[in-house]
């Protein structure tokens, strides 16, 4: 059973959205539990925050699901404002006449299970009235998609016209196409991979270590207040270096030193660390990077190739030529298994090109959807 509800009061915690904050464009859906998780945990229930654009057709056949990346959220499109600290993360793709044409399509974007922008995660209130904190169970990409399937059921969407996602969102998009092939008409898989690599594990576990080494982490049970923002900031700096290309950083900053004595590139990383600390919960960062660390679409399915053989959706598979976190070989593996050509987006921006190169991404979305 499920139902839409209004947000109520709860205790404050560092980073992210909390009950009592401005709701903005969020809608909330409560999914009654128990919700059994792949790695053995159980949640008594799950709240999902989501946003929609356009109008759902009477048969539910025009619905499109867009999956956000690690530090994204349900605010796919729209300005910053009360309840939304940043503007939509794929702003140019959604709207009347846009690649995701809201005159034709009903677009849905939900904050992921384990997140911190309205959906149940470590900073959410547990049944005893305290934040989940260190008690929040491990979640996998499969768990996140299982929750999204329940959301789709509640919305009356029995089959998505398309599921789209890049980076961590690409993992969920691919999991949808493999776990629920009958419910996915088209797949856009972008700047992601079918399973975690050792390189990704190395950078992501190092980010987790930075957060856990902050004394304010307190084993995951940090108190209301600033919290382990220093550790989160270090994690963000490490991550951001993997999101951009060495060429771009060299051309933008080189070894330049600012008037305050800081290297320009260090100042740039400081800025992004501060921005994230103001809007993201460190506990969610650990939980979500751990879900990425356990990602393998072939687990329990006979391996990656056998899993991808289950996909029936028409597909566009694309990558960014300068991406050093999810290099093109990872998308090539998926494209080959699905029998489609790999589409390469030329960009100097590295992995973040999937967010920045809106025209190129939009052209591929139009090709997939015929918009």
pLDDT > 90: what percent of the chain? Answer: 92
Considering the candidates 143, 323, 347, 352, report the single residue annotated as catalytic. 323
* Whether residue 142 is found in the same domain as residue 50: yes
Measured CA to CA, the distance from residue 157 to residue 50 in angstroms comes to: 14
What is the CATH number for 267? 1.10.1740.110
Question: Domain count of the chain?
Answer: 2
Length reported for the chain: 371
Q: Three-state DSSP class for 131?
A: strand
Same domain, 217 and 352: no
Banded pLDDT at 10 (limits 50, 70, 90): very low
**For 20-35, what is the mean pLDDT?**
95
28 with 135, same domain: the answer is: yes
Q: Is there a catalytic annotation at residue 351?
A: yes
- My answer on whether 184 and 101 are in the same domain is yes
Domain span including residue 118: 2-196+296-369
135: CB partners within 8 A, 6+ apart: 126
4 pLDDT band (50/70/90 cuts)?
very low
Q: Are residues 119 and 188 in the same domain?
A: yes
Does 309 share its domain with 331? Answer: yes
Supply the CATH number for residue 135's domain.
3.40.50.1820
> Do 65 and 162 contact (CB within 8 A), yes or no?
yes
pLDDT per residue as tens digits for the range 180-229: 999 999 999 999 999 999 999 999 999 999 999 999 999 999 876 678 99
Do 176 and 321 lie in one domain? The reply is yes
The residue from 167, 192, 291, 347 that is catalytic is 167
Q: What is the mean pLDDT of residues 13-31?
A: 88
pLDDT at 28: 98
153 is catalytic: no
Q: Write down the catalytic residue from 75, 281, 351, 352.
A: 351
Last residue of a domain, one of 292, 313, 342: 292
Question: Are residues 216 and 325 both part of a single domain?
Answer: no
Is the distance from CB of 191 to CB of 212 less than 8 angstroms?
no
Annotation says 134 is catalytic: no
Percentage with pLDDT > 70 across the chain:
96
Of 292, 320, 341, which closes a domain? 292
Mean pLDDT of 355-362: 98
The pLDDT mean for the chain works out to 94
Q: Examine the domain organization and report whether 75 and 110 are in the same domain.
A: yes
Q: How much is the average pLDDT of 76-101?
A: 96
Query: Are 324 and 357 members of one domain?
Result: yes
pLDDT at 224: 65
């Amino acid at each position: 059973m499920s139902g839409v509800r209004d947000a109520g009061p709860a205790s404050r915690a560092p980073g992210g959205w909390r009950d009592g904050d401005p709701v903005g464009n969020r809608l909330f859906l409560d999914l009654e539990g128990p919700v059994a998780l792949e790695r053995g945990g159980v949640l008594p229930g799950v709240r999902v925050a989501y946003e929609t654009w356009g109008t759902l057709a009477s048969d539910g056949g025009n619905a499109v699901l867009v999956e956000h990346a690690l530090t994204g959220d349900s605010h796919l499109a729209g300005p910053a404002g009360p309840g939304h600290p940043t503007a939509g993360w794929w702003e140019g793709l959604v709207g009347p006449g846009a690649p995701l044409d809201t005159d034709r399509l009903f677009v849905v974007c939900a904050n992921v299970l384990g997140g911190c922008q309205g959906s149940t995660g470590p900073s959410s209130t547990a049944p005893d009235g305290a934040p989940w904190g260190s008690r929040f169970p491990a979640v996998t990409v499969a768990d996140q998609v299982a929750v999204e399937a329940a959301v789709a059921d509640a919305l009356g969407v029995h089959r998505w016209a398309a599921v789209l996602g890049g980076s961590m969102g690409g993992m969920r998009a691919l999991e949808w196409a493999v776990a629920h092939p009958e419910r996915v008409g088209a797949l856009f898989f972008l700047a992601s991979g079918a399973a975690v690599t050792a390189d990704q594990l190395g950078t992501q576990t190092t980010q987790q270590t930075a957060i856990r080494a902050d004394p304010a982490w307190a084993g995951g049970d940090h108190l209301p207040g600033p919290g382990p923002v220093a550790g989160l900031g270090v994690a963000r700096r490490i991550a951001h270096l993997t999101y951009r290309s060495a060429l771009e950083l060299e051309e933008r900053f080189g070894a330049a030193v600012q008037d305050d004595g800081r290297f320009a590139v260090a100042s740039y990383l400081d800025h992004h660390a501060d921005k994230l600390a103001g809007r993201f919960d460190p506990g969610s960062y650990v939980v979500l990077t751990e879900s990425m660390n356990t990602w393998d679409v072939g687990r329990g399915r006979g391996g990656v190739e056998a899993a991808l053989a289950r996909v029936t959706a028409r597909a566009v598979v694309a990558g960014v030529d300068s991406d050093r976190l999810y290099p093109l070989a990872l998308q090539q593996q998926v494209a080959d298994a699905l029998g489609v050509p790999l589409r390469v987006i030329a960009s100097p921006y590295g992995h973040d090109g999937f967010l920045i190169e809106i025209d190129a991404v939009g052209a591929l979305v139009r090709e997939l959807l015929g918009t």
